[in-house]
Amino acid sequence: MYHIFHGPNEFTAKEMLADLKSRLGNSDMLSLNTTELEGKNLTIAELTHHVHAMPFLISNRLVIVQNYLSQISGGAKKKNRAEVITDLAKLLDNLPDSTTLVFIENVTLRKNHSILKKGLKISDCVHAFPEPTKRELVPWIEKRVQQKEGKIDMPAAMALANVVGENLRMLDNELEKLILYVKNKRPIRLADVEYLCPYTVDSEAFAMANAIGRQNIEKALDQYHKHLNEGQHTLAILGSITSQFRSLLEIKSMAESGMTPPQIAQAKGWRSDYPVQIRLREGKKFSTKQLVDVFSILLETDKAIKTGQMEETMALDMLITRLCSMKKM
C-alpha cells in the first residue's frame, strides 16, 4: 500500500502519519522497520531496494519519502522525467504487501501529476493538506479543545485565531498551555488568553498595521472607523498605530542583528516567542527604510493635529490612505 500526503499543512500531515503508524503495530518494533528518505537525489534503484527489504520480527515495514514526487515533476530533462515516472508507476504496482510507502510533499502537487492521478484511483491513498483559511481557524480551535476534553468560549477562540493565524502548531501549543491552566474545570475564557498570551490584546491594532502593510485601504479604514465607533480618541488611535510600527521596527532590527526569536522574547521579557513571530511576520511587509519613513509620516500627522492644521478624523483618514499608497520596497 502507498499513500501520498501533499500540501503545506505539515502539522495535520504529521498527525495523520502518526495515526497511520499506530495502526501498523508496536511502535518500538515499527521504529526498527522504518526508513526515512529524502527525495532530493533519490534514485528509483535506491527506492526499490528499501521498499523490497524484508521486515524484521514484525509483519510490516514503513518507508517514508520526503518531497520526491515534486522533485520528479520538474527540474530533470523531459525524457528522463518520463522514464522515472514510468519506473515509479511500475514499482507502485508491485509493492510487497509487507511495505507501506508514504510520500510526504510540502507543496500541493499539480492535478495533472501522473503519480497523483494514479493514486486518486485508489481509496484512502491521496490526502491533501492545504493551509486552513481564516474562516476555518475558530472551528478548528473548538474541535481541537474538544479532542483535549476541554471547552473554550467563542471570544477566546477568536482572539487566538486572530493573532496566531494559520500556524496550527503554535495554536496547539497555546491550547495545551491554556487547558493546563484551567485544568478543564471550566471553559477557556478571553481573560485566560489575555493573561497567558498577552500579545492578543494588540490584535486589533495589528490588524490595522497588517492591512496597511498589504496596502488594503478599505480594510485599514474599516479598522480605524471601528475604533472610532468604539469611542476611542483619534490621538489614542494614532498613538496605537505608532506603537505597533515602533514594535515592528524594533523586532525587525533585532532579528537583522542576528538575534533569534527566543532571544528577542527574553530581551523583551515576554513569556514566549509567539509575539516575536507575529511581529516578524508583519514586518516582512515593510523594508527597514520604509518603517523609518512611516515614522516621519506619523510625526507629520501628529504635528498637524496638535497645531490645528488639520481636523483629527480627516488627518487619520489621510494618514492611512498615504501609508497604504506607499511604494513597495
What's the structural domain count of the chain? Answer: 3
pLDDT digits (tens, 9 = 90+) for 52-75: 999 998 999 999 999 999 988 655
CB atoms within 10 A of CB 162: 16
- Residue 6 included in any domain: yes
Same domain membership, residue 138 and residue 124: no
Identify residue 193 by its one-letter amino acid code. Answer: V
Residue 21 in any domain: the answer is yes
Whether this prediction's pTM lies above 0.75 is answered by no
> DSSP states of 298-321 as a string?
HHHHHHHHHTTSS-HHHHHHHHHH
pLDDT digits (tens, 9 = 90+) for 227-256: 788 787 888 888 878 888 888 899 999 999
- Together in a domain, 228 and 290: yes
Residues 279 and 190 in one domain: no
- For residue 111, give every residue at least 6 positions away whose Cβ sits within 8 Å of its Cβ, in sequence order, or none: 117
Residue 300: phi and psi, rounded to 5, are -60, -45
Give a yes or no: residue 313 inside a domain: yes
| CATH code for the domain of 291 | 1.20.272.10
Within-domain flag for 329: no
Q: What CATH number corresponds to the domain at position 114?
A: 3.40.50.300
User: Do the beta carbons of residue 34 and residue 133 sit within 8 Å?
Assistant: no
Residue 201, pLDDT > 50, answer no
pLDDT in tens, 99-125: 999 999 999 999 999 999 999 999 999
pLDDT above 70: residue 77: no
Half-sphere CA count of 61, side-chain side, radius 13 A: 18
Residue 166 included in any domain: yes
**Do 15 and 117 share a domain, yes or no?**
yes
Q: Do 138 and 206 lie in a common domain?
A: no
Domain check: are 32 and 105 in the same one?
A: yes
pLDDT for residue 329 is more than 50? no
Q: How many CA atoms lie within 13 A of 30 on its CB side?
A: 17
pLDDT band at 212; cut points 50, 70, 90: confident
Cα gap 125→120, rounded to integer Å: 7
Q: Same domain for 167 and 239?
A: no
Domain holding 142, by residue range, is 134-196
Indicate whether 49 and 141 sit together in one domain. Answer: no
